Every structure is written in structure tokens, then in C-alpha cells.
Amino acid sequence: MMRVLGIESSCDETAAAVVTERGEVIADVVASQIAVHAPYGGVVPELASRAHVTNVVPVIEAALAQAGGIETIDAVAVTNGPGLVGALLVGLSAAKGIAFARGLPIVGVDHLIGHLFAVYLTRDDAPAPAPELPYVALLVSGGHTAIYEVTAPGEAHILGQTRDDAAGEAFDKV
């Protein structure tokens, strides 16, 4: 069964997970930066990037240890946007290094689309109650607020979005 190492660093959390082709989460580790940014009332991009540099290797190592080692990985997936440029580059660099060193395929993942399809992930072989297709999803994440129509696994179409403000940003600050 295929196992994919996923790496996420689009904003202020460094995360790594190992997921099977069936969507079963084998391991997941997150390093939060809430304490780093709290004094400023929001995410400071330069501080976020520096924290990712510090956290990315330990987070990936911990996820791989939970999953049984890097030898069990068949591919690497990494957030390629949208997000903070410096933060994204940290995750992308780590993912490219692992993929190159191990001769593994690498796949870029849109951060927002990842949110929409996370509902299909499972833990401990417990089936996730997958929504009936098609469905409409409200996505509120950081600087993004949008409504999507999800028509099939892997297929989503934006129905509308904000242009000047984001409920996700307000939500993150509460």
C-alpha cells in the first residue's frame, strides 16, 4: 500500500503526516507558532519562516518515526501555495531534498484544496463519513474565505470568494 509523506508550511504551523493511498493517517505531527506571533497580534512572515527552519526537520523526523521510518515512504507531497512565500520555501526545500535523496516522486498540493479534501482522511481504520457528492463547502482559512462546490474526489470549483477581507484571518486572531 502506498504511503505519502505530506509536508505543510504555508503559514504559521509546521506539519508533517504520513497518509496511505486510502486516506488513512498513519502519523501526524504539528509544531505551532502561536506563542511566537501572539505578542504581535497576528502572524509576522519573517518570524514564521525562521520558525519553520527550526521546526521542519524535527517535525518530519517525528512523523517518519511514528510511521516506521523513511523506508516506508513511496512519495512526497508538499504545500505549494497559497501562503507566505518564505514559509512555503522552507517546506518545499525540505520536500525536494527528501524526494531527490530517496528517488521519490514529489507532488505539489494547493493548501486550500487540501482543506476541502481533508474530510476524506481516516484514523485507525475507522471509515470517515464522507460527504455525499456534490456538496458545497465554506472554506475559512487565514487570508482566505471562499465557497466551493466539490463535485468529485479531487475536483472542486470556486463559487465565490472575498476580495478585500478574510473571515479566516479574523477567526485566527480570536
Residue 119 gets the label, from left (phi > 0), alpha (psi -120 to 50) or beta, of alpha
Indicate if 111 and 145 belong to the same structural domain: no
Indicate if 85 and 101 belong to the same structural domain: yes
**pLDDT given at position 167:** 75
pTM for the model stands at 0.91
Whether residue 134 has a cis bond before it, omega within 30° of 0: yes
In the chain, the number of structural domains is 2
Indicate if 30 and 90 belong to the same structural domain: yes
Q: What range does the domain containing 143 cover?
A: 131-174
CA distances from 153 to 6, 120, 122, 140 (A): 18, 9, 15, 20
**pLDDT given at position 166:** 72
Indicate if 34 and 99 belong to the same structural domain: yes
Which one, of 114, 105, 104, 51, lies nearest residue 82 by Cα? 114
**pLDDT given at position 168:** 63
**pLDDT given at position 62:** 99
Indicate if 138 and 100 belong to the same structural domain: no
Indicate if 146 and 67 belong to the same structural domain: no
- Residue 11 C-alpha cell reads as 503559514
Angle among Cα 21, 22, 28 to the nearest 5 degrees reads 75
**pLDDT given at position 19:** 97
CA distances from 48 to 67, 81, 85, 119, 135 (A): 27, 15, 10, 27, 34
**pLDDT given at position 174:** 61
Render each residue's pLDDT in the chain as its tens digit; 174 residues. 999 999 999 999 999 999 999 899 999 999 999 999 999 988 999 999 999 999 999 999 999 999 999 999 999 999 999 999 999 999 999 999 999 999 999 999 999 999 998 888 888 767 667 788 999 999 988 788 899 999 988 899 999 998 777 776 666 666
Indicate if 14 and 54 belong to the same structural domain: yes
Indicate if 119 and 165 belong to the same structural domain: no
All residues at 6 or more sequence positions from 9 whose CB lies less than 8 Å from its CB, including other chains:
15, 52, 56, 79, 83, 87, 88, 90, 91, 92, 94
Indicate if 52 and 92 belong to the same structural domain: yes
Indicate if 44 and 110 belong to the same structural domain: yes
The CB density around residue 150, as the number of other CB atoms within 10 Å, is 19
Indicate if 102 and 37 belong to the same structural domain: yes
**pLDDT given at position 142:** 77
